[in-house]
Structure 1
Amino acid sequence: MTKLKFYGIDAIGLRAREEVLPGRLIVMEGTDGVGRSTQVQFLRPWLESVGYAVIDTEMTRSELAGPGLKQAKEGHTLGPITLNLFYATDFVDRFEREILPALRAGFIVLTDRYIYSLIARSLVRGADPHWLRSIYGLALKPDIIFYLKIDLEDLIPRVLQSGGFDYWESGMDMRLGSDLYESFVEYQTRMLAVFDEMVDEYNFHVIDASLPAEQMLEQIKHQIIPLLPHG
């Protein structure tokens, strides 16, 4: 059963109700283009095939904030504070409406990014670390966090092959370069540095994202199996 461990306060009152969460919370983290979504797509049918109920979730899928956030990002006019608060609202809504109910029901919850990408993006944009911890302190500590780690030299061709540079994932709102490519290189360099600093603090399980997807999957499965509930 998932132990009730939080990064800050128990804002929802789970401890007070002496709740037990029989599910498991499994997180895929890493920057854009490292294959998080691919691993979630592999893991869900595998877990279901061996008898587990599974849900998956990701950023901007909140019914409350997701559509508005996607629409706001299309205009390329969001300031960093508004962007941070929009993402925080999206996360908290999914946490209360999707993640917690699924854990209560004994589901395996696979999440493509959790609070760590949100914190990294905010730190790169100059947010105060103490402010971020106060926002995301209500988050449960996952059962395991996989950090799909990649070097910038391996990341660039992957992003180009999968559709090219995205405005926000290139940090264009921060004016980090004279064009999309220069901005992407500088922004992702900063993001990767922040993720690397998080490895020990948050107990990331590092997976080499330069490996073929199937090899990454086998490593991830090997680490997930001991965590799964047994009837």
Structure 2
Amino acid sequence: MQRGKFITLEGVDGAGKSTHLPFITELLKSSGHETVVTREPGGTPLGERLRELLLHEAMHPETETLLMFAARREHIDKVILPALERGAWVLSDRFTDASFAYQYGGRGVSKDKIKTMENWVQGNLQPDLTLLFDVPVSVSCQRLAGARDPDRFERENAAFFKRIRAAYQERASSFPARFRIIDSSQSLESIRKVLEDIFISI
């Protein structure tokens, strides 16, 4: 059986990636693909428990990084690899690029330490396609201001999100064949047209 595709959605909080997840899901399903929709941190019962800690408990940045990768290890083993091996397409709201953005860019954890964790936890596994929803930090902060009760990441200041955005852009520059950067300040209709064009070509 042909291996499925692994697609990830990335972006700063407020970039709108979660808004477009259902539309992308329907694009894949309408093309006849079994589609598994998941998220990080989370995706498994243990991962969801770790997610609650990560989003709401204060901790050292390296503890945060280790817990992110602990949840990811379970996610890969229990959800991502089994789905890919049976030919399903996996659509994940965040993956390891988020660790480079948030823990390296945002928190200042050593990039080398995160690379070591990446190699240890996922080996050769990388997304086939990463959609980076990009907006100016002023826009993301404005969107977050009107959102639900924010978690501890969403409560961070604009400087934090600027570092995250820069780290995402650095990551995209390092892997240009995998990343598609989407201007998420466009209208909903414009973004959907961009997404349709992307998925026609894969």
- TM-score normalised over the length of structure 2: 0.88
Deviation string 1:61-84 (CA, Å, 9 cap, x unpaired) is: 33223213404643x321111111
**Inter-partner Cα distance in structure 2 for 1:90 and 1:50:** 30
Please give the secondary structure, in 2, of the residue aligned with 1:65.
helix
Deviation, 1:162, is: 2.2
Query: Is 1:153 equivalent to 2:138 in the alignment?
Result: yes
CA shift in 2, pair 1:91/1:214, >3 Å = farther
Deviation, 1:114, is: 1.1
Structure 1 unmatched ranges of 5 or more: 1-19, 172-183
CA shift in 2, pair 1:68/1:152, >3 Å = closer
Query: Partner of 1:88 in structure 2?
Result: 69
Deviation, 1:166, is: 3.5
Deviation string 1:25-77 (CA, Å, 9 cap, x unpaired) is: 11111111111112111111232233211011111233223213404643x32
Query: Is 1:37 equivalent to 2:22 in the alignment?
Result: no
Residue 218 of structure 1 is aligned with which of 175, 182, 193?
A: 193
The answer as to whether partners of 1:27 and 1:144 remain within 8 angstroms in 2 is: yes
**Largest Rg, 1 or 2:** 1
Query: Is 1:207 equivalent to 2:182 in the alignment?
Result: yes
Count of residue pairs brought into register by the alignment: 195
CA shift in 2, pair 1:113/1:185, >3 Å = same
Query: Partner of 1:198 in structure 2?
Result: 171
Deviation string 1:142-173 (CA, Å, 9 cap, x unpaired) is: 211111111012212211222365422333xx
**Inter-partner Cα distance in structure 2 for 1:37 and 1:80:** 25
Answer 1 or 2: which has greater helix percent.
2
Structure 2 unmatched ranges of 5 or more: none
RMSD: 1.9
**Inter-partner Cα distance in structure 2 for 1:36 and 1:192:** 14
Q: Which amino acid is 1:50 matched to?
A: S
Query: Is 1:135 equivalent to 2:117 in the alignment?
Result: yes
CA shift in 2, pair 1:72/1:44, >3 Å = closer
- TM-score normalised over the length of structure 1: 0.77
Residue 56 of structure 1 is aligned with which of 28, 31, 37?
A: 37
Query: Partner of 1:13 in structure 2?
Result: none
Tell me which moved more, 187-196 or 64-73: 64-73
**Inter-partner Cα distance in structure 1 for 2:180 and 2:151:** 27
**Inter-partner Cα distance in structure 2 for 1:81 and 1:68:** 15
Superposed, 1:153-172 pairs within 5 Å as 153-163=138-148, 165-171=150-156
Deviation, 1:89, is: 0.7
**Inter-partner Cα distance in structure 2 for 1:218 and 1:99:** 28
Query: Partner of 1:109 in structure 2?
Result: 90
